[in-house]
Structure 1
Amino acid sequence: MLDDLDRRILRHMQSDPEQSIPDLAERLGLTPSRLSRRLEKLREGGILLGSRAMIDWRALGYTVEVSLRVTLDKTNPRAFDEFIAQARDIPEVLEIQTFLGQVDVRLSVIARDMGHYQQIYRSAILTLPHIADIEALMHVARIKSNESLPL
């Protein structure tokens, strides 16, 4: 389990992920070597998964985001596996989520504009296997998107 120091480390890393180990250690009142050992322990425990670049896809010209709620034909026992394997190969699919209930899968798809989305939808999405039903939800605004945890 996390102790108070682990939580403080993670809070600081969430608030400023680009800070250096020496700067973070100074803010926390630790030596860099002690902080490094703690970080390694958090990585080994599977809590700290690493760092990544956050890229604003809108700044790269993608202006359309659509959520597709997909119901699969579950008469085929491999429907989920085959659908997901092929959906992963579509570069514009940013996220794939599976659910229990009427909707089986949600795809988050980005496109440069509506014409580009229509092309992706027709040539890639509709060719995915085992689709029984599909519903498109056009994103209008993202009200909250926060990956920081309340530590």
Structure 2
Amino acid sequence: MLDETDRRILRHLLADPEAPNTLLAERAGVTGASLWRRMEKMRAEGVIRAIRGRIDWRALGYGVEVSLRFTLDKTVPHAFDAFTAAAREVPEVIEIQTFLGSVDLRLSVIARDMGHWQQIYREKILTLPHVADSDALMLVSTIKSTQEMPL
């Protein structure tokens, strides 16, 4: 399990993932060698899986984000596998999530503008297999988006 020092390291890592290790060690109150050992241990245990960059899709010209919720036709064997395989092939699908309940899956889809969204929807989304029902929610604003945890 994690001790308070590990939690402190993770808090600082989440707050500033681009910080150099020397600064991260200083902020966490440990030596550089201790930081390295602890981070390697957390990687080995699967606590730290990756340190990734976060892309601002709007800065790249993708001004529209839509959340699509799908219920699949459960009478079709392997409908889930066929749907997810097809959804993975749509480049504008940036996230696929599964759920328990009345909604089976949710896709996050990005588009440059409404015209591009309509093209993606007609040519790629409507052709996804085994859909029994769907619902679309267009993102207006993001109030909170964080990877930070109460560590």
Structure 1 residue 58, shift from structure 2 partner: 0.3
Unaligned runs of 5+ in 2: none
TM-score under structure 1 normalisation?
A: 0.95
Alignment of 1:130 onto 2:130: yes
Measure the CA separation in 2 of the matches of 1:29 and 1:37.
Answer: 14
What secondary structure does 2:80 align onto?
Answer: helix
Summarize the Cα distance change of 1:27–1:139 in structure 2 as closer, same or farther, 3 Å threshold: closer
Count, aligned residues = 151
Measure the CA separation in 1 of the matches of 2:99 and 2:24.
Answer: 39
Identity of aligned residues (%): 66
CA offsets per residue over residues 46-97 of structure 1, 9 Å max, x none? Answer: 1111211111000111111111111100111201111011101111111111
Structure 1 residue 144, shift from structure 2 partner: 1.0
Where does residue 66 of structure 2 map in the other structure?
A: 66
**Pairing of 1:47-86 with structure 2 (within 5 A):** 47-86=47-86
Where does residue 45 of structure 1 map in the other structure?
A: 45
- Superposed CA RMSD in Å reads 1.0
Where does residue 4 of structure 2 map in the other structure?
A: 4
Measure the CA separation in 2 of the matches of 1:28 and 1:140.
Answer: 37
Unaligned runs of 5+ in 1: none
